[in-house]
Amino acid sequence: MIRKAVIPVAGWGTRVLPATKSLPKPMLPVADMPAIYYIVEEAVASGIEHIIFITSRHMRAVEDFFDEQPELKHLLASKQNNAMLDRLNAIETMAKFSFVRQSQPRGLGHAVLMARNAVGHEPFALLLGDDLMWSGADNPPCLRQLMDVYEQRHASVIATMPVPDAEVSRYGIIRGERVGPQLMQVRGLIEKPSLAEAPSNQAVVGRYILSHGIFDLLEHTPPGRGGEIQITDALCALLAHEPVYAYEYHGRRYDTGDTVGWLMTSLDYALRRPEFAPALRAYLRTLDLSGEN
């Protein structure tokens, strides 16, 4: 059973500057919640009990969001705003939260390695903070879909999606052998390849179930693409020891890592909320979308 999830949130979010100069990227609002809330919600809805955030010195706001705010609760109680009090209480008690600092930005692989002691000797989930997964009403959450594969195969599983040629250089790309509907056994991985180097169009998206064997390999993974220690390189090394699967999950991915992606995400998430949708739709209908403004 997968009980723990690692969520690295240490990066600056340079593609969303200047908004992220002082507001940590995971705190950018998507509808009425910070983006990071939806990642935690997906993990908890999938059965995760303990969330380990990898943070950095400018991420205090993330810690504060999942912690109690007694003054605010007092204020809401005095105003008898019980509905909001219940919402805040629900956020604080969603899961057990731990925070581990990554003091230097040495890459995603290095961030994951920081979680080694907190994870211990068990398989764990890894969710990347930029990627919001909408699985729709008919599908289990994306992470749950990966857990279901893990429970059948007892091996690491990565979520993938097909991307157009023009986008392969933005992702980790897998070489795989089809072993079932939507399921591939991974034979190779390469981080952000050129189109010529790319072995396929199957891109790694931000959800993984990893065996704890990944930690030993991360200890010895040299800096790769961008001079950073890459989880993709450690996964490639893991292939020599254990099977790794890639699952083309059901659902839609939102990339909040750049400004336009974040704006689109916030709009779609707000339009799915019955309390916001009617007014927002009515407003959108009034817009002149001819491109003149």
Residues lying near ligand G1P in the complex (CB under 6 A) are found at 108, 128, 130-131, 171-172, 191, 203-206, 230-232
Nearer to ligand G1P among residue 40 and residue 168 (C-beta)? 168
Residue type, 190: I
Nearer to ligand G1P among residue 59 and residue 76 (C-beta)? 59
Least distance between ligand G1P and beta carbon 197 (Å): 14
Least distance between ligand G1P and beta carbon 230 (Å): 6
Nearer to ligand G1P among residue 25 and residue 144 (C-beta)? 25
Phi, psi of 139 (to 5 degrees): -115, 150
Q: What is the CA radius of gyration of the chain?
A: 20
Least distance between ligand G1P and beta carbon 191 (Å): 5
Least distance between ligand G1P and beta carbon 68 (Å): 31
Nearer to ligand G1P among residue 76 and residue 254 (C-beta)? 254
**C-beta separation of 254 from 128 below 8 A:** no
Nearer to ligand G1P among residue 52 and residue 112 (C-beta)? 112
Residue type, 178: R
Least distance between ligand G1P and beta carbon 210 (Å): 13
Q: Which segments of the chain does DSSP mark as H helices, in order?
A: 35-45, 60-65, 70-78, 82-92, 108-113, 116-119, 142-153, 213-219, 231-238, 259-271, 277-286
Nearer to ligand G1P among residue 94 and residue 111 (C-beta)? 111
- Residue 218 tokens read as 């991360």
Least distance between ligand G1P and beta carbon 77 (Å): 41
d(CA 140, CA 205): 17
What is the torsion angle, in degrees rounded to the nearest 10, for the CA atoms of residue 9, residue 12, residue 16 and residue 22? Answer: 100
Burial 191-205 (b: 16+ CB within 10 A, else e): bbbeeeebebbbbbb
d(CA 173, CA 201): 7
Output the residue with the shortest Cβ distance to ligand G1P: 172
Nearer to ligand G1P among residue 76 and residue 256 (C-beta)? 256
Cα separation values, 233 from 5, 44, 107, 132, 241, Å: 20, 28, 11, 23, 14
Least distance between ligand G1P and beta carbon 155 (Å): 19
Nearer to ligand G1P among residue 231 and residue 238 (C-beta)? 231
d(CA 207, CA 113): 16
Least distance between ligand G1P and beta carbon 168 (Å): 10
Q: Which residues pair with 115 in a beta bridge?
A: none
